[in-house]
Amino acid sequence: MEQAKQKVLFESGNELAAYAAKQINYHIMGYYPITPSTQIAEYLDRMKADGEHSIDLIPAEGEHSAAGICYGASAGGGRVFNATSANGLLYALEELPVQSGTRLPMVLNLACRTVSGPLSIKGDHSDVMYTLNTGWIILFANSPQEVYDLNICAIKIAEQLRLPVIVAFDGFFTSHQKRKCFVFAEDKSVRDFIGPKSCDYSVLDPEHPVTIGSYMNEPDLINNKYQLHMAMTQARTSIPKVFAEYRELSGRTLETVTSYRADDAEILLFILGSSYLTAKAAVDKLRKEGKKVGVFSLGVLRPFPSEQIAEICRNANKVLVADRQDSYGAGGGNMTLEIRAALQQKGLTTRVLCRIYGLGGRDFYEKDALDLFETCYEQEVPDFDYIGIYPGEKDFTTKPYFEPVTTANSLQGLTSCKEIDGKITVTGGTVRDTTARPKRLAPGHGACPGCGIPVNVNLLLRGIEGNVVLLFQTGCGMVVTTGYPKTAFKVSYVHNLFQNGAATLAGLSKMYRKMQERKELPPGDITFIMVSGDGGLDIGMGSALGTALRGDPVIILEYDNGGYMNTGYQLSYSTPMGAKSATSHLGPEQWGKTFFHKDMPRIMAATGMPYVATAAESDPNDFIKKAAKAQYYAKNHGTAYIKCLSACPLNWGDKPNTERRVISAAVNSCFFPLYEIEQGITTLSFDPEKSGQKIPVADWLKMMGRTRHLCEDNYFEIMENIQKEVDRRWSRLKAQAAHPEL
Amino acid sequence: MKHTTQAKPASHAVTLPYVNDSGYYEIRLESIGGLGANLCGKLLGELGVGYLGLNASAFSSYGSEKRGSPVKSYVRFSRPKQDILHNSPVEHPHLLVLFHQALSSSQPVTAGVREDCVLVINTSLTPEKMRDELRLHAGTVCCVDALKLALQSKSRVNMVMLGAIAKASGFIPLDAVKDLVTATLGKKYPDMLAYNIAGLELGYQNLTVQFFSSDKRYETLPYHEAQSKWGYQNAPLGGANTHFGSTVSNDLYPSREGFIPLYLPEKCIHCGLCDSTCPDMVFQFAPGEYRGKPGMLNQGLDYHHCKACLRCVDVCPTEALVAGKEHEHPEKQWFVRNMDLIVDKLDFEPAGADSEVTSESYLDELRVDGGLI
């Protein structure tokens, strides 16, 4: 084979994963944004907008669904791509053995990141090690260049073996670092290399019906698994073959096991990912001092190349495995355990030390590598240890800055509700008087200047009397308030996984009542409030609906800023149609988000929950009163839900000081009408038509950089559609308000 | 950012003036989110690979590019044939760039600086004054008033800084930077391009430079990784945080961009709208009497937590809150300490918005597509 023409780029691992995917021109990518892998979908979307590929990019409402989209698409026989990280991977995990067990090839990029909890967004290998038992081929890239190269090989390997393939690489260190790299100048070189897609059967071929996903017990299932094992065995020869072909085409070498100055090394370090490169620099330094050290790493984790590893370690006195994750209680990370097993299999008695390092994204410096080698020269060292830990400052104590906010100082009668004939009226709750409410949130949090989240949370809390426990779903709101070792919460607070807040709070509120019932807690009241972004109520829709359907006594506050702002503004289902975002670019081939914003209050109302309301900071008195009502309903009738529009100056592309006016325009345009649904009865809180304040949606959309383009002539049709939909929803709402039966 | 390709041989090939013992010329950019330092770092890397005939890497402190948060960006250059093996932050920069003067008091920005370091600082101060501000033990200090020059050229701070960096480096030709900026903005924004080029040129031309030897006036500031006071022996289990409300010890002044809300109590009607729109709980209300009626009264502002979004100025119905230039009000009349605090003394830590935006691609695109980098 002749070497294909190449060109130089300066790109990150994520950009190169996307570039490879573009060149392959997959049929479908199902995805859900999660740091640090999100950029892959973003770059693909950018290229799609510019007409550089024709992959369908499908934003799911969670990783479980993204994996489902990929599964379905691959059952159709085309080429399928996905990218994820950490808890996204774990949320999708149960789909992985299904994909491999039913032998549907696809490629999943994994920008490795710490698995929660506590939540960390930084890089380590705790996620990828969960995939070792899933039956996927696992490739590991230690540089952006390898991310590109392995992605091109991955699809070929996947289709040869009829197995799905993971291309893993270090989150941030590799995913976000820009490097000089080579790519094929022509997409055709890539497409010729991987060849045409062939499959044994396709669900989309009516002439040859096929059942995918048989119901299989004994005696058959074990044979299916043996077939998978056989494929892994076959992979041991076919992967190196693909790598060799790729070398001919690209001039670049890919290896299952890669090593540096290992041949005569007495001390060997094993380390995965980007740290391998740093360790090479340390090896050079120690070699200059005459120390016989070397380092090795893996390009392929599954199938595990035991034989080559044993071969490399044959002459070493000691091997130190630096694991960027721990298999807690096993005496090593997974690589330690597997390398020990590989050596034992070959009858080697080489001592294998394990050091856990770099968890939660702790940097790996050259000095760390030098220290690891030094460890091996010491006489008395434990087999297992962590590096980079510290005991903390002795005698460090914290003094409370505030009095706790309890019934003692917050049961003030600033708001009160009365229920007469099923109708609830609120007294009090004015903006002025409720300045007396102690703040449950401390200042000094890290939200952007002008952010709407603390504004909305504080407005809600002004209406709430007495004890409060808060739960934030993952998003800007939790990230800016609880960055360790500080917290902005003055009342108790819980965070669980992104999508599971409502269920968590349901459990907590039930425990409160149960412990009171058993006299383990004194009588009294705590109001349980979940705060979530609109993204959290995409992925967490099921959990929220379940809670509402059961009628658990909690309040759900949704701050809707119309996007996944915490991860760099990818589209959510609440993003306005036509808005540009990191996953809905404008370009010759694309015009922003293609579907209408989600009507979450209507979805919640369908559960029959007692209280659904929308609120806006532009009418703060109304907001506070609705909060008081929500507290009343949660205490006496069931789950309450309030949705508020929440400003995001950074990603809306407007000025922080103007946000209240922007929110007001959304209300006046009826894009975000203010209303309540109490026990099924709809009431308009404000009718912009009646008060003569109704404005076209365009007047709101033009206030924000993300939607301003929609006011240009060439987007006329889209704008007209948005206006029609807003009018349609507004008319329906008016009808509902007019007819108690609706 | 869109893909840029440079298949042709380097148009402005250079030789690195000096490198460390790993073979790198290293740059650290210290900034506050929103000034475009991340993008500047990426552009420098691209410049190295695409135009200067070098090998390069560029990455950031992966925290935030949100407005007002401290950001670090790193660039490594090496000879074209040499691999860059290190992925860790730059400890001893050859070139240290400070995008914002306020950083000098809020962050250990000069950590690891040695005598051979060239510092490029966005400031209106002289190198001598700047050295004192930074308590810098040694190095070549290059001052450029980037904010002023950016306004003058209708460009952005990072364009001026890029020009200044080229000059201060001693090896980056201005023409190479111009070619890069031209290629990045393409033919899409010719008018904007002219402003950006003007910004580059002004930065290149308006550098005040002074070398300070290691004269023992100030101590060297060693580089080390941050550590918390809670470690494995004393931290509450499970990451539980019992120090409720502890963000109050953050001083958010680095988030401000020159303005603050000024309070004119004589105009205040104590309606509370300011408190209802403030995301940062700056306003201090207490019971009192206004026009003969008891009620909650606005006592003033705790500026420690004010990020100067100026939402309060926008909603104030009586112009009791107006925007003013912060440097004209060093006293900050009507400064009232947070009235809920029960401690007498508080050691504040300077801090910015700290949200973890981990993809700046959308913001970078906005900047580039806006015709300004």
- Rounded to an integer, the average pLDDT of A539-565 is 97
Q: Considering only A327-341, A654-668, B99-113, which range has the smallest mean pLDDT?
A: B99-113
- Rounded to an integer, the average pLDDT of A155-168 is 98
Q: Considering only A170-184, B172-186, B276-290, which range has the smallest mean pLDDT?
A: B172-186
- Tell me the CA distances in angstroms from A265 to A114, A235, A384, B344, B362, one per residue in order: 32, 29, 22, 61, 47
Quick: pLDDT tens for A64-100. Answer: 999 999 999 999 999 999 999 999 999 999 999 999 9
- Helix, strand and coil content of chain B, in percent to the nearest 5, comes to 30, 20, 50
3-class SS of residue A321: strand
DSSP letters for B136-185 = --SEEEEEE-HHHHHHHHT--HHHHHHHHHHHHHSS--HHHHHHHHHHHH
pLDDT band at B71 (very low <50, low <70, confident <90, very high): confident
pLDDT band at B62 (very low <50, low <70, confident <90, very high): low
Mutate to test the interface with B, among A435, A651, A706 (most CBs of B within 10 A): A435
From-to residues of CATH 3.40.50.970 in chain A: 6-250, 407-705
Centroid of chain to Cα A365: 28
pLDDT band at B7 (very low <50, low <70, confident <90, very high): very low
Above 60 in pLDDT, residue A549?
yes
CB contact under 8 A, B49 and A476: no
- Contacts of residue A567, defined as CB under 8 A and 6 or more positions apart, other chains included, come to A33, A34, A35, A38, B357, B358, B359
How, if at all, do strands A56-59 and A28-31 pair? Answer: parallel
Instruction: Name the superfamily (CATH) of residues A6-250.
Output: Thiamin diphosphate (ThDP)-binding fold, Pyr/PP domains (3.40.50.970)
- Rounded to an integer, the average pLDDT of A285-305 is 98
- Contacts of residue A717, defined as CB under 8 A and 6 or more positions apart, other chains included, come to none
Above 60 in pLDDT, residue B1?
no
Q: Judge whether A17 and B340 are in contact, CB under 8 Å.
A: no
Q: Token digits for A588?
A: 């010759």
Quick: pLDDT tens for A186-201. Answer: 999 999 999 999 888 8
CATH for the B250-347 domain, from 3.30.465.10, 3.30.70.20, 3.40.50.2020, 1.20.1630.10: 3.30.70.20
CB contact under 8 A, A401 and B314: no
CB contact under 8 A, A392 and B230: yes
For chain A, what is the mean pLDDT?
Answer: 97
Q: Token digits for B255?
A: 């988030």
CA distance A333 to chain B (A): 19
Instruction: Name the superfamily (CATH) of residues B25-221+359-369.
Output: Pyruvate-ferredoxin oxidoreductase, PFOR, domain III (3.40.920.10)
The residues in B 136-155 lying below 8 A from A, measured between CB atoms, are none
Q: Closest chain A residue to B249 measured between Cα atoms?
A: A444
Using alpha carbons, select from B46, B88, B62 the residue that is nearest to residue A281: B88
CA distance B128 to chain A (A): 33
pTM of structure:
0.96
Provide, rounded to the nearest whole percent, the portion of chain A with pLDDT above 90. 97
Q: Which amino acid is at A302?
A: R
- Rounded to an integer, the average pLDDT of A39-54 is 97
Q: How far apart are CA B38 and CA B264, in angstroms?
A: 39
Above 90 in pLDDT, residue B359?
no
- Rounded to an integer, the average pLDDT of B32-48 is 85
> Tell me, what's the pLDDT at B357?
42
Q: Is B238 near chain A, with CB under 8 Å?
A: yes
Quick: pLDDT tens for B230-279. Answer: 999 999 999 999 999 999 999 988 788 789 999 999 999 999 999 999 99
User: What residues of chain A lie within 8 A of the CB of B85, using their CB?
Assistant: 277-278, 280-281
CB contact under 8 A, B340 and A403: yes
pLDDT band at B10 (very low <50, low <70, confident <90, very high): confident
User: What residues of chain A lie within 8 A of the CB of B91, using their CB?
Assistant: 365
Quick: pLDDT tens for B86-119. Answer: 999 999 999 999 988 777 766 688 999 999 999 9
CB contact under 8 A, B3 and A19: yes
3-class SS of residue B96: strand
For chain B, what is the mean pLDDT?
Answer: 89
Quick: pLDDT tens for A379-400. Answer: 899 999 999 999 999 999 999 9
- Rounded to an integer, the average pLDDT of B77-84 is 96
Place of tokens 């119905």: B317
Q: Closest chain B residue to A6 measured between Cα atoms?
A: B7
- Contacts of residue A464, defined as CB under 8 A and 6 or more positions apart, other chains included, come to A415, A527, A529, A627, A628, A631
CA distance B295 to chain A (A): 7
Q: How far apart are CA A40 and CA A100, in angstroms?
A: 23
CB contact under 8 A, A447 and B353: yes
> Tell me, what's the pLDDT at A140?
98
Q: Judge whether A139 and A303 are in contact, CB under 8 Å.
A: no
> Tell me, what's the pLDDT at B65?
43
Please report, in angstroms and rounded to a whole number, the separation of the first and last CA atoms in chain A: 70
Above 90 in pLDDT, residue A692?
yes
Q: Is B232 near chain A, with CB under 8 Å?
A: yes
Q: Closest chain A residue to B49 measured between Cα atoms?
A: A180
- Contacts of residue A256, defined as CB under 8 A and 6 or more positions apart, other chains included, come to A239, A240, A243, A298, A299, A300, A305, A308
- Rounded to an integer, the average pLDDT of A2-7 is 94
CA distance B157 to chain A (A): 18
pLDDT band at B3 (very low <50, low <70, confident <90, very high): very low
Above 80 in pLDDT, residue B362?
no
CB contact under 8 A, B229 and A185: no
Quick: pLDDT tens for A616-654. Answer: 999 999 999 999 999 999 999 999 999 999 999 989 999
- Contacts of residue A191, defined as CB under 8 A and 6 or more positions apart, other chains included, come to A23, A24, A25
Above 60 in pLDDT, residue B4?
no
Top-ranked range on mean pLDDT: pick from A617-631, B36-50, B338-352: A617-631
CA distance A36 to chain B (A): 7
User: What residues of chain B lie within 8 A of the CB of A438, using their CB?
Assistant: 340
B57: β partners: A179, B76
Q: Closest chain A residue to B298 measured between Cα atoms?
A: A435
Q: Token digits for A361?
A: 């994204």
Above 60 in pLDDT, residue A687?
yes
Q: Is B61 near chain A, with CB under 8 Å?
A: no
Q: Omega into A303 within 30° of 0, i.e. cis?
A: yes
From-to residues of CATH 3.40.50.920 in chain A: 259-386
A259-386: CATH number: 3.40.50.920
Above 50 in pLDDT, residue B327?
yes
User: What residues of chain A lie within 8 A of the CB of B59, using their CB?
Assistant: 12, 172-173, 176-178
- Rounded to an integer, the average pLDDT of A291-314 is 98
CB contact under 8 A, B229 and A393: yes
> Tell me, what's the pLDDT at B364?
65
pLDDT band at B67 (very low <50, low <70, confident <90, very high): low
- Residue B208, H or E segment: strand B208-212
Place of tokens 């003692």: A408
**Domain layout of chain B by residue ranges:** 25-221+359-369, 250-347
CA distance B50 to chain A (A): 8
> Tell me, what's the pLDDT at B361?
61
> Tell me, what's the pLDDT at B91?
95
> Tell me, what's the pLDDT at B372?
55
Rounded to whole angstroms, the maximal C-alpha distance in chain B is 81
Q: Is B79 near chain A, with CB under 8 Å?
A: no
The domain defined by A407-705 folds into Rossmann fold (3.40.50)
Above 70 in pLDDT, residue A408?
yes
> Tell me, what's the pLDDT at B106?
62
Cβ atoms < 10 Å from Cβ of A99: 25
CB contact under 8 A, A431 and B272: yes
Q: How far apart are CA A286 and CA B88, in angstroms?
A: 19
Provide, rounded to the nearest whole percent, the portion of chain B with pLDDT above 90. 70
Q: Half-sphere exposure (CA, 13 Å, Cβ side) for A477?
A: 32
Which among A277, A449, A459 has CB closest to B85? A277
CB contact under 8 A, B309 and A450: yes
Above 80 in pLDDT, residue A368?
yes
User: What residues of chain A lie within 8 A of the CB of B347, using their CB?
Assistant: none
Quick: pLDDT tens for A212-239. Answer: 999 999 999 999 999 999 999 999 999 9
CB contact under 8 A, B362 and A617: no
Which among B60, B248, B277 has CB closest to A443? B248
Provide, rounded to the nearest whole percent, the portion of chain A with pLDDT above 70. 100
Q: Closest chain B residue to A568 measured between Cα atoms?
A: B359
CB contact under 8 A, B248 and A434: no
Quick: pLDDT tens for A458-495. Answer: 999 999 999 999 999 999 999 999 999 999 999 999 99
- Rounded to an integer, the average pLDDT of B299-312 is 97
User: What residues of chain B lie within 8 A of the CB of A617, using their CB?
Assistant: 276-277
CB contact under 8 A, A39 and B359: yes
